Amino acid sequence: MRNRRVKIRATMRELAVAALLICAVAFSSCTAGSGVAGVAEEGEVNTAAGGAANTSAESAAPYEEVGFAMGTVVNQTIYMRGENLSPAAITAEIIGILENVESKWLSWRVEDSDIAAINESAGTGVPARVADETAAYIEDALRIAEDSGGAFDPTIGKLSRLWDFDGGKNKIPDSAEIKRLAKDVGYAGIRLDGRSVLLEKASGIDLGAAGKGIGCDEIEAYLNEADGVKGALVNVGGSSILTYGEKGTGEPWKVAVLDPRDPSGFLGAISLDGTHHVSTSGDYERYFEIDGKRYHHILDPKTGYPADSGLMSVTVVAKDGADCDALSTACFVLGYEKALPLLAKYGAEGIFVDTDRRVFLTEGIRDRFTLIADGYDLEREEGTK
Ligand code: ADP
Ligand code: MG
């Protein structure tokens, strides 16, 4: 479906309304308990109301489209350099790339995906053979699992399915069952040898915490090859965003971070020049509440229960998409203090929001982040720790 392009000039209230509009269209990512997700692009926002799109490659204005892939809304803004390729072909290609990442490599739902094949043979002693790309992304995941001391752990699959935050059961699973599955979690049980992957225990691999970032890496690789694209802003489900190249107007990219307690509004905006990846993990994305306690989808692999490190959200800015996405999950589990050395190791920046509504920034992002929401305190000094 081609979408009618509606420019919304940026008052923050209007942006919030636009985000809700997109949410209304993308009903499946906006079910009870979820927000629009962690990050939204700031600036021109289009609705998916149908009608003619801007197809002129010559136009100074960008081409914008709202689509759907990886189970979520994908907002694309493309700045073309010439007329070699139509921007509509670029956006269609990008959606195809995300669909491919999901169905061929990462999905545990799609029977013939690589991850499904690994999980099928888990605990049997017979390794699964996967695509080069899948093997490379598992290698990345293992590196971050190790560097984060297991805060990010790709063998969390069965536990994650037990909690089933997507399914809307809104029930705490049986504690004995949580304990039993948590025992099998452990990235050290993944044996990767070239393209052969063996899961020693009967756990399951879940690369969901890095999936959208992996998608953004693949998009970046494609854009590097695509002729005629000057710049692009691709927002996958709000929680992973790629800023690519430049607009050509001399202005930086603006990426807005959602307010974790009012995800229809914005906590603040990040200003970025050039190509970056931005990923957010938050306790507001998928959760339910029982007796006033929030149970959310980011699990502590050591306990099998939702991570409880005093944070509501973490946004990471990094040069690599898969790392960025996995790091945001790892940082959420680790908490602010323990996450700092991990981010430093990856040369990444972070925006942490704790449950006391304090916002902590790493040094390299202080001049690039503007707090917008009321009711939050920017802790400028403590961030220097
Ligand atoms: P989202 O996918 O909503 O953008 P994240 O990137 O934080 O958010 O990924 C959360 C998903 O990752 C969960 O739905 C679950 O499948 C998986 N997951 C949860 N906790 C962990 C963890 N500690 N390590 C690795 N994966 C996790
Ligand atoms: Mg993540």
User: pLDDT per residue over 102-120, tens digit each?
Assistant: 998 888 778 889 999 999 9
Supply the DSSP symbol for 309: S
Tell me which ligand sits closest to the C-alpha of residue 328: 2
Q: What is the mean pLDDT of residues 280-285?
A: 97
Q: Establish if 33 belongs to a structural domain.
A: no
Q: Are strands 293-296 and 39-41 parallel, antiparallel or unpaired?
A: unpaired
158 part of a folded domain: yes
213 in ligand 1 pocket by Cβ < 6 Å?
Answer: no
Tell how far the Cα of 50 is from the centroid of ligand 2, in angstroms.
32
Distance 154 CA to ligand 2 centre (A): 11
Both tokens assigned to 360: 């902590």
Q: How confident is the model at residue 381 (pLDDT cuts 50, 70, 90)?
A: low
- Is 127 a domain residue? yes
Contacts (Cβ under 8 Å, ≥6 apart) of 38: 238, 239, 257, 258, 279, 280, 281, 282, 285, 313, 315
Q: Is the CB of 283 under 6 A from ligand 1?
A: no
Q: What is the mean pLDDT of residues 327-348?
A: 98
Task: Classify residue 281: in a domain, yes or no.
Answer: no
What are 10-29's pLDDT values in tens digits? 333 333 333 433 333 332 23
Q: Which pLDDT score is estimated for 49? A: 24
Judged by its nearest atom, the ligand closest to the C-alpha of residue 38 is: 1
What confidence category does residue 60 fall into, taking pLDDT thresholds of 50, 70 and 90? low
By the 10 Å C-beta count (0-12 exposed, 13-18 middle, 19+ buried), 347 is classed as exposed
Q: Crossing angle for the helix pair 208-225 and 132-147, nearest 10 degrees?
A: 130
- Which whole number is the average pLDDT over 112-130? 93
Average pLDDT over all residues of the chain: 85
Assigned domain for 29 exists: no
Ligand 2 centroid distance, CA of 82 (Å): 35
- Average the pLDDT over 60-88 and give the result: 91
208 lines ligand 1 (CB under 6 A): yes
Backbone angles phi, psi at 362, to 5 degrees: -80, 160
Atom number, ligand 1, closest to the C-alpha of residue 286 = 3
The CB of 160 under 6 Å from ligand 1? The reply is yes
> Measured from the CA of 240, which atom of ligand 1 is nearest?
4
156 lines ligand 1 (CB under 6 A): yes
* Residue 166 backbone phi and psi in degrees, to 5: -75, -30
Helix axes 336-345, 321-334, angle to 10 degrees: 160
Per the domain annotation, does 190 fall within a domain? yes
From the CA of 160, how far away is ligand 2's center (Å)? Answer: 14
Q: Is 158 in the pocket of ligand 1 (CB under 6 A)?
A: no
Separation CA 225–CA 87 (nearest Å): 14
Report helix, strand and coil shares of the chain as percent, to nearest 5: 35, 25, 40
Q: Is the CB of 278 under 6 A from ligand 1?
A: no
Distance 130 CA to ligand 1 centre (A): 22
Q: How big is the CA angle at 215 (ends 209 and 221), to the nearest 5 degrees?
A: 140
- Of 270, 367, 351, the C-alpha closest to 313 is 351
Provide the residue range defining the domain that includes 175.
105-209
Q: How many CA atoms lie within 13 A of 30 on its CB side?
A: 15
Q: Above 60 in pLDDT, residue 6?
A: no
- Which residue's C-alpha comes closest to atom 2 of ligand 1? 209
The tens digit of pLDDT for each residue in 43-55 reads 433 322 222 333 3
Average pLDDT estimate for 303-327 = 98
CA trace torsion 372, 245, 350, 69 (10° rounding) = 90
- Verify whether ligand 1 is closer than 6 Å to residue 298 (CB atom): yes
CA dihedral 27, 28, 31, 34 (to 10 degrees): -100
Distance, CA 346 to ligand 2 centroid (Å)? 15
Residue nearest to atom 10 of ligand 1 (CA): 209
Asked if residue 203 belongs to a domain, the reply is: yes
Q: How many domains does the chain have?
A: 1
301 CB less than 6 Å from ligand 1? Answer: yes
Average pLDDT on 216-228 reads: 95
Residue 131 CB neighbour total at 10 angstroms = 13
Q: Calculate ∠ Cα 281-230-213, nearest 5°.
A: 20
pTM listed for this prediction: 0.86
Average pLDDT (144-153) is 98
Q: Which chain residues have CB less than 5 Å from ligand 2, an ion? A: 209, 281, 325, 328-329
- Which pLDDT belongs to residue 145? 98
Question: Which percentage of the chain shows pLDDT scores above 90?
Answer: 76
Q: Residue ranges of the alpha helices (H) in the chain? A: 12-25, 87-100, 114-120, 132-147, 157-163, 175-184, 208-225, 321-334, 336-345
- Rounded Cα distance between 21 and 334, Å, is 34
Mutation probe of ligand 1 site: the residue of 144, 239, 300, 329 with most atoms within 8 A of C-beta: 329
Asked if residue 132 belongs to a domain, the reply is yes
- The pair of structure tokens assigned to 211 is 């999936």
Residue of 163 and 31 predicted with greater confidence? 163
* pLDDT value, residue 254: 97
Mean pLDDT of 128-151: 96
pLDDT band at 82 (very low <50, low <70, confident <90, very high): confident
Determine the distance separating the centroid of ligand 2 and the alpha carbon of 215, expressed in angstroms: 12
**pLDDT higher than threshold 80 for residue 33:** no
Can you tell me which atom of ligand 1 is nearest the CA of 300?
A: 23
64 ligand 1 Cβ < 6 A? no
Residue 131's domain is classified under what CATH number? Answer: 1.10.3980.10
| Cα 329 to ligand 2 centre (Å) | 4
User: Greater confidence, 257 or 8?
Assistant: 257
